[in-house]
Amino acid sequence: MLAGGGDTEQSLFIDKELHLTYMNMKRGLQMKNILVIGGYGQVGSVICKALSHFYPKKVMAAGRNIEKAKNFSLSMDGNVLPLELDIYHVDATDEVFQSTQLVIMCLDQKNTSFVEKCIQNKVNYIDISPSYKILSSIERLNTKAHKSGITIVLGVGLAPGLTNLMVKKIIAELDIVNKTDMYLMLGIGEKHGNDGVEWLLNNINDKYAITEHGHKRKVSSFTEGKHVDLPKQYGKRKAYRFNLADQHIISKTLEVENVSTRFFYDSAFTTNALAILKKIGVFKLLSYKHFKKMFVKIFVGTLHIFDKLNIGSEDYLVKAEVCGERKGKEVTIESVLFGSNNTAITGNVASIIAMKLIENKYASGVYYSEQLFELDEILSHLDEEILYTYEMKVVNEQVRGS
């Protein structure tokens, strides 16, 4: 007879690692697979590694390149399994759906066909894409997801993701919200590769609609520069409008107006150079495939040179600044979160939300992270290897009209 009460299975194991092993074995007998599309990529591999610790041999790194998937599986001692899968050439009746309980999408999709197949097969779904074009398309599947009884979570990562949750936390402190500004900084020293460069070039010519004081107007990425105060190690920087998804998302989910997102690199030189090139019209040439390929090569080559010269860092930073009213006073509250390795924190956030969907039942339908979760519950579960700084403070408070 064991004394002390509590969970008998828990008390049988003094050693935490032994208990974890036992619980993993128990879960393994009961659960289906976790399918990570693009699981051998930069962010996908972080997600696979984190989840395989809790669900060994239940995490599948899927993608078109089976050799990369196999090599990654070997590097994970077989705790992550490889799977060859082309999301554009898989049938809804494929057995992969029958053996899967959760899909985590780490690729930018051309359409929602794969998501719809997940819905048909009652498979929960998470998407880390920063592109509002695909996210807004998935939003429209809400009724289908609800009828199917599955949960789809979008806006998972740094931005959108943590930025949305940061704004949500600030808004809870205010009676009225008048204006919300968000900022994203990425380090040019991080290994972005072609994907990161193409993401920038694909969005740098974007024209998109914003609403200011009840009136809609069109703006363009990398215009309307604005100086922003940052923690002392970064000082004051100039950031530019960018068509990031979070500004579009929180306008709906948090019902706020006058929202903007601006972007900049840790290298002021790089940010300013891009702004100048945009202003003089150089990026108009991106509409020609030949020039776009040339730009990608030049940009990637420049980043490699910067890396050799130790120019730039792997730092990331997100800042939310909300102006509103509280108890009759005009108030500005800001929060900032910064650290090193955007890839690691993005993957870690996704793995935390994945575990929540695996271990708990949430309402069916399509949701963004801020509609289901709180900032504190995500940050408190980040891997201890993820080093970051988070601050939230009131920067201005005065009686209205003074």
Other CB atoms closer than 10 Å to residue 226's CB: what's the count? 14
Query: Nearest CA to 141 among 363, 365, 364, 361?
Result: 365
As beta bridge partners, residue 306 has none
Shared domain for 312 and 207, answered yes or no, is yes
Other CB atoms closer than 10 Å to residue 362's CB: what's the count? 16
Residue 239 forms part of a structural domain: yes
Asked whether the beta carbons of 160 and 244 are under 8 A apart, the reply is: yes
Backbone phi, then psi, for 325, in 5-degree steps?
Answer: -135, 145
Shared domain for 28 and 115, answered yes or no, is yes
Q: What is the CATH number of the domain that holds 278?
A: 3.30.360.10
Residue 227 forms part of a structural domain: yes
- Specify the pLDDT at position 200: 86
Shared domain for 62 and 179, answered yes or no, is no
Residue 1 forms part of a structural domain: no
Whole-number CA gyration radius for the chain: 22
- Specify the pLDDT at position 198: 79
- Specify the pLDDT at position 27: 54
Residue 186 forms part of a structural domain: yes
Shared domain for 102 and 240, answered yes or no, is no
pLDDT in tens, the chain (402 residues): 333 444 433 333 344 454 455 455 555 556 899 999 999 999 999 999 999 999 999 999 999 999 999 999 999 999 999 999 999 999 988 899 999 999 999 998 999 999 999 999 999 999 999 999 999 999 999 999 999 999 999 999 999 999 999 999 999 999 999 999 999 999 887 765 556 777 888 889 999 999 888 899 999 999 999 999 999 999 999 999 999 999 999 999 999 999 999 999 998 988 999 999 999 999 999 888 888 888 888 887 777 777 676 677 889 999 999 999 999 999 999 999 999 999 999 999 999 999 999 999 999 999 999 999 999 999 999 998 899 999 999 988 787 765
Residue 155, sorted as left (phi over 0), alpha (psi -120 to 50) or beta, turns out to be left
Shared domain for 152 and 287, answered yes or no, is no
Shared domain for 202 and 115, answered yes or no, is no
Strand extents, DSSP E, 175-223:
176-186, 207-212, 215-220
Shared domain for 366 and 298, answered yes or no, is no
Other CB atoms closer than 10 Å to residue 69's CB: what's the count? 22
Shared domain for 331 and 198, answered yes or no, is yes
What strands, in cross-sheet order, belong to the sheet with 151-154?
A: 80-84, 59-63, 33-37, 100-105, 124-127, 151-154, 365-368
For the stretch 121-138, what's the b/e string if a residue is b when 16 or more beta carbons lie within 10 angstroms of its beta carbon?
bebbbbbbbbbbebbeeb
Asked whether the beta carbons of 247 and 262 are under 8 A apart, the reply is: no
Sign of CA dihedral 86, 87, 89, 91: positive
Angle ∠(174,176,179) on CA atoms, nearest 5: 95
Shared domain for 215 and 127, answered yes or no, is no
The pair of structure tokens assigned to 293 is 């390929």
Question: What residue numbers bound the domain in which 173 lies?
Answer: 159-342+387-399
- Specify the pLDDT at position 281: 93
Q: What is the CATH number of the domain that holds 62?
A: 3.40.50.720
Query: Nearest CA to 102 among 344, 355, 369?
Result: 355
Residue 381 forms part of a structural domain: no
Shared domain for 131 and 13, answered yes or no, is yes
Shared domain for 92 and 35, answered yes or no, is yes
Residue 255 forms part of a structural domain: yes
How many domains, the chain? 2
Shared domain for 95 and 180, answered yes or no, is no
- Specify the pLDDT at position 30: 67
Residue 382 forms part of a structural domain: no
- Put simply, whether the predicted model's pTM sits higher than 0.75 gets the answer yes
Residue 369, sorted as left (phi over 0), alpha (psi -120 to 50) or beta, turns out to be alpha
**Dist. CA 71–CA 82, nearest whole Å:** 9
Residue 150 CB partners (closer than 8 Å, separation 6+): 118, 119, 122, 123, 124, 125, 364
Residue 230 forms part of a structural domain: yes
